[in-house]
Structure 1
Amino acid sequence: MPSPNVVETTRLILRPPTEADRDAWVQLHRDPRTYWHAPHAMSQTDDDAAAFLERTLAHWDEHGFGLWLALDKVTREVVGVCGLKDVEGAFLNLYYRLVFVGLGHGLGREMSRASAAHALEFLPALPVRALVKEVNIPSVRTALGTGFERVGTRVLHDDLPDEPPSTVFESPRVEAVTTFDAAAREQVLDLWVRTNDAGGSVGFLPGAPRDSVDAALRAHEDSMAAGSTVAVLLRSAVDARVLGTSFLERGSNPLLDHTRTVYRVMTDPDRRGQNLGRLLMAATHRVAREAGVEILSLGVRSGSGLSRFYGSCGYVEAGRVLGAIRVAPGEERDDITLTRRLDDRTLIPDLRG
């Protein structure tokens, strides 16, 4: 499936720009109030800004992705630009810019998170990076809140002679495996235990013995060895440490071979609120789609608050078993099944009995 050209977030519609957007594009890139951290980086003339738009349109024509124009969902007014640019086939550069009145409302983070997830799910498997001046503290916070890590520095072509280089922030990387090496296994086990103890709904209650979790991990490894399960790892761009994992399991019924069940979606509890869950789901979708999978299903426990998160990842409720999960005597939760079509076809019930 090609990457979708239009993406929607909670508050925004992200769509490719057109020639008809020239005036809005020029105005956005000629407002000195939004270039306070680097005035020299602003387009110096309207023609310069228009040339930037032409390069952006050419990038879309060549690569099939690029920078979006961001519109407010309610007013349909332009609030900014965001997206990704291929830099010489070496990495994908995440870029965003807001209109002045859009600053300070979390829109930059919303754009950045959506762009990063889109890259991991659909775009070429290149490092995803953001180049940020450390003096630009809001953008530094946005990069970290998007799930990126500092990995180095880079001098930009338009830097002034005495200007510090930009910090390179990079997204976690995706790996699909059918066996764990010793280091990865220990990290996955540790992640699982810490997720349990932090209250995550991954098969155990807080305080579950490590040996019990280890036995559950061995069961997944047996399924991996049998060719029925793939583990999806989200690894740090700094040291390859496992930051998140999920398991994609194929059932034994050949009539369901176009489907998979997602199990044990876990991210580092110490980095909650940094978009790792969304990045992990994007990675899971990518791995499944590359295997030809059309439908994913997963289960959540009622009361966990996870239905809303998975809904933001495109999942819809397909059914629930009332009171199926007993967390304590007399305390029960519903077992909810959520599904998503990876080809984005609408799920329509077959009402034949």
Structure 2
Amino acid sequence: MALFFVADPIVTRPLRAGLLKTWTDASNAGGAIGFVPPVSPLDVEPLLDEQLEAVADGRMRLVVGLDGDRVRAAGFLESNSHRLMQHWVWAKTIMVHPKAQGRGAGFALMLALGSLARSMPGIEAVRLSCRGGLGLEDFYARCGYKEVGRVPGAIRVGRGDDRDDITMLLSL
């Protein structure tokens, strides 16, 4: 499966529906994208709409990986409003549909996000936060990111199940 990546696509109803399905399905497959399974589209929809509003306002950028017309991967870059931090962006809500996992789609998505960040004037780095306990920091390290911070037990995914909040940085 070869994905075609599009930066800043026009968000049509079918694209929005594909993003919602990908986020929901990836979360239910165990993806650490702000939820703990089980999750329904009704749970995901308000957060998706919030991020799409930020895209429309220019506060976020969107990269989508498509297999034909099906969304198989997506991620957002969020600009900083703080005047002392405008030289880096946040990578957020990085997701790969379960049908595309294990085939290089995640790595290709991270390359596409890095490429978009490099095209943004004045941007020198990309930061992201990931949930510990899933090996995500190892994946992001393979994508060129370095661990620069860790808060033990900052993410509570369930009773008695606290995970580290790990900050990773990609210097451009």
- Which amino acid in 1 is paired with 2:12? D
**1:283 corresponds to 2:112:** yes
Aligned residue for 1:217?
48
Q: Which aligned runs of 4 or more in structure 1 are off by greater than 4 angstroms?
A: none
Indicate conservation of the 8 Å contact 1:245/1:266, yes or no: yes
- Which amino acid in 1 is paired with 2:80? G
Aligned residue for 1:207?
38
SS for the counterpart of 2:73 is: strand
**1:307 corresponds to 2:137:** yes
Structure 1 spans left out of the alignment, 5+ residues = 1-146, 149-171, 343-353
**1:184 corresponds to 2:15:** yes
Structure 2 spans left out of the alignment, 5+ residues = none
Indicate conservation of the 8 Å contact 1:179/1:221, yes or no: no
CA distance in 2, matches of 1:207, 1:240: 26
Compute the displacement of 1:207 (Å).
Answer: 0.9
Instruction: Output one character per residue of 1:84-123: Cα deviation in whole Å (capped at 9) or x when no partner.
Output: xxxxxxxxxxxxxxxxxxxxxxxxxxxxxxxxxxxxxxxx
SS for the counterpart of 1:255 is: coil
SS for the counterpart of 1:217 is: helix
Aligned residue for 1:268?
97
Structure with greater strand percent: 2
Compute the displacement of 1:339 (Å).
Answer: 0.4
CA distance in 1, matches of 2:126, 2:16: 25
**1:340 corresponds to 2:149:** no
Instruction: Output one character per residue of 1:313-335: Cα deviation in whole Å (capped at 9) or x when no partner.
Output: 11111111111101112220110
SS for the counterpart of 1:201 is: coil
TM value normalised by structure 1: 0.47
Match of 2:126 among 269, 292, 296: 296
**1:226 corresponds to 2:60:** no
CA distance in 1, matches of 2:83, 2:33: 27
Larger Rg: 1
Aligned residue for 1:253?
82
Compute the displacement of 1:254 (Å).
Answer: 2.0
Indicate conservation of the 8 Å contact 1:202/1:266, yes or no: yes
Indicate conservation of the 8 Å contact 1:246/1:266, yes or no: yes
CA distance in 2, matches of 1:262, 1:211: 24
Instruction: Output one character per residue of 1:255-286: Cα deviation in whole Å (capped at 9) or x when no partner.
Output: 21121000111112012211101111111111
Indicate conservation of the 8 Å contact 1:278/1:313, yes or no: yes
TM value normalised by structure 2: 0.94
